[in-house]
Amino acid sequence: MPELPEVEAARRAIEENCLGKKIKRAIIANDSKVIEGVSSVDFESALLGKTIVSAHRKGKNLWLHLDSPPFPSFQFGMAGAIYIKGVAVTKYKRSAVKDNDEWPSKYSKFFVELDDGLELSFTDKRRFARVRLLKDPTSVPPISELGPDALFEPMTINEFTDSLSKKKIGIKALLLDQSYISGIGNWIADEVLYQARIHPLQICSSLSKENCATLHNCIKEVIEKAVEVGADSSQFPSNWIFHSREKKPGKAFVDGKKIDFINAGGRTSAYVPELQKLSGTVATKAAGKPTKQASKKKGGDEAEDNDDDEDGVGDEPTNEEEESTKITKPKKGGNPRGRGRKPPMKRKAKESDDDDDDDDSGGNNDGSSEEDDEDLTEKGRKVKTNTSNKQAKTVKTSKRPVSSQDGKKPKRAK
């Protein structure tokens, strides 16, 4: 979050309340992590006296067209939100401003006052958003790298079906790829796949024409409905999985059917096993492992904790079939004589398993960390060193004559 409907609601609010008005005051936060490529002073001076001509959106990005360039653009990230003082704009889980909070909010990154007194603010509590000042926002990343907008530029059914037939990756991973379709994030992908009765890990090329047509229709219906109600989730249909996808495993149900949580496309994904069956060659390989990882999830907020990566166009979608069959093997070339190599190898194999688990959880750490990895590596070195020292001592000792009751010579150290 936010996804296409939330950003579209913000665009429409600006369009309805701010067009044709001149910017008479501007306050840009001194936050180089969010305000990208320009100082706050230069940003402010570039806005003053300009008139807002129109508001545009592609995918999860929004920009204001002024009467002359450059133009401010907004990549919403995980918690970016547009607020207009005195105007109801859709609020969602991670937006920061409440009606009784200070104004402008302490989380405001972009604030302008218009010539009629109306005030507009873009806030970002978690600082994953990006606000830029660009001569042509559509000609540079991230907007230039986006695929067709899911609302404004939908593929035809034939185009959609043909494109899916050529993709050898999981369907949810593809839907999250902003270079394929822009605007679909984690909750929309879960919703359309549930409505279409398609498993999130189903390989795209294995989908039937009927599956493709149903999914195409569900994408259209879910997005249009969410936009129609201004992205107000309280008005989403009661039979949507959306309302239960953040509940804890074992307590999440939709229409009386249990919701399970797995990893698909690097994201925590809600689906209904009874209705969304995994078929084909990946069915036996990919079904069990993600469910095991899901048992580690606490549900709730973790379902959305990775939403920031939805905005990353460059992320390669995961090949679920390859991931499901990947086996970690110990490296070859170890010391054939030294027994000190064995403990590190065992630790490394375990370490690799932990890494795979982390990958399956979309970056959420389920008990391992880089520090843990370093500790394991260091322990491996100590084991090797200690063993080598023992071997050296044994060899040195064996050179001295040693008597024994049976008169046998001591064995050479191996």
Give me the residues paired with residue 22 across strands. Answer: 51
Give the residue among 366, 368, 285 at the shortest CA–CA distance from 319: 285
Which entry of 6, 50, 58, 60 is annotated as an active-site residue?
Answer: 60
| Rounded Cα–Cα distance for residues 368 and 377 (Å) | 13
Q: Is 297 a catalytic residue?
A: no
Q: Is 16 a catalytic residue?
A: no
| Rounded Cα–Cα distance for residues 176 and 210 (Å) | 21
Is the Cβ–Cβ distance between 19 and 114 less than 8 Å? no
Token code pair at residue 13? 């609010």
Give the residue among 254, 194, 201 at the shortest CA–CA distance from 222: 194
Which entry of 3, 44, 191, 351 is annotated as an active-site residue?
Answer: 3
Q: Is 221 a catalytic residue?
A: no
SS3 for the chain is: CCCHHHHHHHHHHHHHHCCCCEEEEEEECCCCCCEECCCHHHHHHHHCCCEEEEEEEECCEEEEEECCCCEEEEECCCCCEEEECCECCCCCCCCCCCCCCCCCCCCEEEEEEECCCCEEEEECCCCCCEEEEECCHHHCCCHHHCCCECCCCCCCHHHHHHHHCCCCCEHHHHHHCCCCCECCCHHHHHHHHHHHCCCCCCEHHHCCHHHHHHHHHHHHHHHHHHHHCCCCHHHCCCCCHHHHCCCCCCCCEECCEECEEEEECCEEEEECCCCCCCCCCCHHHHCHHHHHHHCCCCCHHHHCCCHHHHHCCCCCCCCHHHHHHCCCCCCCCCCCCCHHHHHHHHHHHHHHHHHHHHHHCCCCCCCCCHHHHHHHHHHHHHHHHHHHHHHHHHHHHHCCCCCCCCCCCCCCCC
| Rounded Cα–Cα distance for residues 12 and 18 (Å) | 10
Catalytic residues: 2-3, 60
